[in-house]
Amino acid sequence: MHLDLGFRAFDPHELLPHALAARLGLYDDNGVTVRLVDLTFSPDLDVQVSLGSALLARLAGADLRIALVASRHPLFWVYGRERRDPTDPLRVAGYPDGTPPAVFTRVVLPHAELVPARDSDTRLGLLLTGQVDAAVVSTAVPPDSLDRRGLHRLVALPEHLTVPTTGLAAPVPLLDTPPLTAATTALQTALRVMHDDPDTVARTLVDVFRYDRTSAERAAAEYAGWYSPDGTVSTAEAAAALGTLADTTGTDAPAVDAVFADTSLRRGSHRDGSSGDDASHG
């Protein structure tokens, strides 16, 4: 079996579970070959890991469903050259308007002036040359490299917003097909590895995403807490996420079951025994 898997950013946020599944032979164990495809050049590809984009497309009418949730939060941080109150009206180098990171940043920093910039180098360049007060940074940039530049973390978006941002999304007719089912099972196992084996996660960050060892160990510990351990979210989290995105984009929020497949939903209580009614952190 074969599956083409679309991605938007080659970074740990989107692709760490996939990298673990490939490294550990989890796709092979489930009888599927997975090939990554850059959605920049294949925008109509059926299956993608970019849930932020998929959810916004679903709100706009696309017939997509979420088959698996990897990251339950947007993994982006806002850094500045000096410590500032993030509630101040900062000028922030961010992502292009309409993209998921731009939407997430607007939710968390409603008073900021967002300056669109095309990539991480541009955003950091604008910050380091004093053109902006702060910049939005993704997992493409190892955290220790920011510390070495003397930059300060002003706000962590995942602490303030719970919206599934990576995993597996596909059109409804593909949900029960063998390749997608096999990939879902492999990624569920990879998510357990993220929580249970930080050394393997750190080595993957070094080998695949070019992190140095110190950054990799730090990130392995931090990132795991933002990912689902089993590929699901609670129905309360899913409903709250849809409501947040609908409010931000001026659309109507569809029913949870119209967006999230059964394989991506945890009905009932959380694994820690809590009710799952609070869909935000911080």
- Taking the CB of residue 243, how many other CB atoms lie within 10 A of it? 12
Residue 247 lies in a domain: yes
Final residue of a structural domain among 92, 126, 159: 159
Please state, in angstroms and as integers, the Cα–Cα distance from residue 33 to each residue in 183, 195, 207, following that order.
9, 24, 21
Question: Side by side, which strands form the sheet with 76-80?
Answer: 113-116, 91-94, 134-138, 76-80, 152-156
Query: Are residues 153 and 217 located together in one domain of the fold?
Result: no
Query: Are residues 198 and 136 located together in one domain of the fold?
Result: no
Q: Which residue has the tokens 């939005």?
A: 136
| Overall average pLDDT of the 185-208 stretch | 98
Query: Are residues 68 and 81 located together in one domain of the fold?
Result: no
Residue 192 lies in a domain: yes
Q: Is the pLDDT of residue 281 over 60?
A: no
Q: Is the pLDDT of residue 129 over 90?
A: yes
Digit-coded pLDDT (tens) for 137-193: 999 999 899 999 999 999 999 999 999 999 999 999 999 999 999 999 999 999 999
Query: Are residues 141 and 93 located together in one domain of the fold?
Result: yes
* 87 vs 155: CA distance, rounded Å: 10
CB 132 within 8 A of CB 60: no
Query: Are residues 203 and 126 located together in one domain of the fold?
Result: no
**87 against 256, higher pLDDT:** 256
Residue 38 Cα to chain centre, angstroms: 16
Q: Which residue has the tokens 């968390």?
A: 108
3-state secondary structure the chain: CEEEEEECCCCHHHHHHHHHHHHCCHHHHCCCEEEEEECCCCCCCCCEEEHHHHHHHHHCCCCEEEEEECECCCCEEEEECCCCCCCCCCEEEECCCCCHHHHHHHHHCCCCEEEECCCHHHHHHHHHCCCCCEEEEECCCCHHHHHHCCCEEEEEHHHCCCCCCEEEEEEHHHCCCHHHHHHHHHHHHHHHHHHHCHHHHHHHHHHHHCCCHHHHHHHHHHHHCCECCCCCEEHHHHHHHHHHHHHHHCCCCCCHHHCECHHHEECCCCCCCCCCCCCCCC
CATH code of the domain covering residue 172: 3.40.190.10
Query: Are residues 255 and 133 located together in one domain of the fold?
Result: no
In sequence order, the β-bridge partners of residue 93 are: 115, 135
Average pLDDT score, the chain: 93
Q: How confident is the model at residue 224 (pLDDT cuts 50, 70, 90)?
A: very high
Residue 52 lies in a domain: yes
Digit-coded pLDDT (tens) for 22-46: 999 999 999 999 999 999 999 989 9
Q: How confident is the model at residue 267 (pLDDT cuts 50, 70, 90)?
A: confident
Q: Is the pLDDT of residue 244 over 90?
A: yes
- Tokens encoding 147: 């510390």
Q: Is the pLDDT of residue 5 over 70?
A: yes
Q: Is the pLDDT of residue 64 over 90?
A: yes
Query: Are residues 67 and 23 located together in one domain of the fold?
Result: yes
Residue 142 is part of which domain span? 76-159
Query: Are residues 226 and 86 located together in one domain of the fold?
Result: no
Residue 90 lies in a domain: yes
pLDDT for 268? 64
pLDDT for 90? 95
Query: Are residues 64 and 169 located together in one domain of the fold?
Result: yes
